[in-house]
Amino acid sequence: MKRFIFYVIGLNLIAAAVVLNIRYDLGVAAFSSVMYSISEIYHISLGTASIICYLIFVLVQCFLSRKMTVAYVLEVPLSFAFGFLTDLYDLFIPEFGGPVAVRLLLFVLTMFVTAMGVYLCVKTDVVLTPTDGIVKTISEVFSLPFSAVKNVFDISLVAISAVLCLANSTKLYGIGIGTVLSAFVIGRIIKIYEKYLPMESIGKVKKSGAPS
């Protein structure tokens, strides 16, 4: 139950942070840049774009690990749930104005919220969001640190977003100083959480035989 509560909190933190970053108008977080670009280019909701990207990520995980696991299967309904959460927060979080300095400060604070959401979802080991799942899969397959893979993966998503926008002859949707910051910083913030906020209590629950 403790793991599930932490997991739900983490999932909501990520979904809320995705929408908040859009409101600051400084570029979206790197991990959501492709979703936002697809949403704007093809005029679909952010939640729908998230679902499309997440299902692709699930397929890539299966390909990399060369197997279909229960964890991967469970990421499919989670993709739809997260898409719903994203659209829900998009509906209720109001537009935000204000000086650039204030918006930049809020964006930085929101990166810590995003990183905490990712950290909680990963450490509780219930069902990862496909964005985190694919990072974890790459980390395990190639024996690399999760935080390092997260940095590289986020930067790759920004590059893909730019290519999508250029290929469709549109402006660079959601790509700005905030996107660059999040691409390089969120993985490092997660590393700080890993070092200073260990979650042994959740690990002990897992080892006692509770299902993941």
pLDDT in tens, 116-127: 998 888 788 778
Which pLDDT belongs to residue 167? Answer: 93
Does residue 201 register a pLDDT over 60? no
CA pair distance 67, 86, nearest whole angstrom: 29
Q: Which residues contact 3 (CB under 8 A, 6 or more apart)?
A: 124, 125, 126, 202, 205, 206, 210
Q: pLDDT digit string (tens) for 43-97?
A: 999 999 999 999 999 999 999 988 888 888 989 998 999 999 999 999 999 888 7
Q: Kindly report the length of the chain.
A: 212
Question: Position of tokens 């994203």?
Answer: 86
Q: Mapping DSSP to helix (H, G, I), strand (E, B) and coil, where does residue 74 land? A: helix
Does residue 211 register a pLDDT over 80? no
Which pLDDT belongs to residue 154? Answer: 83
What Rg, from alpha-carbon coordinates, does the chain have? Answer: 17
Angstrom CA distances, 197 to 92, 191, 192, stand at 31, 10, 8
Does residue 195 register a pLDDT over 90? no
> What CA dihedral angle connects 159, 44, 78 and 33, to 10 degrees?
20
Q: How many CA atoms lie within 13 A of 193 on its CB side?
A: 22
| Amino acid symbol at 125 | D
- Enclosing H/E stretch for 53: helix 46-65
Which pLDDT belongs to residue 184? Answer: 81
CA pair distance 165, 27, nearest whole angstrom: 14
- Would you give the end-to-end CA distance of the chain in angstroms? 11
Mean pLDDT of the 191-206 span? 67
Does residue 207 register a pLDDT over 60? no
Which pLDDT belongs to residue 124? Answer: 81
Q: Name the pLDDT band for 37 (thresholds 50, 70, 90).
A: very high
How would you label 22-38 residue by residue, b for 16+ Cβ within 10 Å and e otherwise? bbbbbbbbbbbbbbbbb
- Look up the pTM and report it: 0.78
Question: Position of tokens 């949403």?
Answer: 39
CA pair distance 132, 37, nearest whole angstrom: 19
Which pLDDT belongs to residue 212? Answer: 33
Parse the chain into domains and list their residue ranges.
Answer: 2-199
Q: pLDDT digit string (tens) for 88-99?
A: 999 999 888 788
Q: pLDDT digit string (tens) for 135-184?
A: 889 998 998 887 788 888 888 998 999 999 999 988 888 888 888 888 78
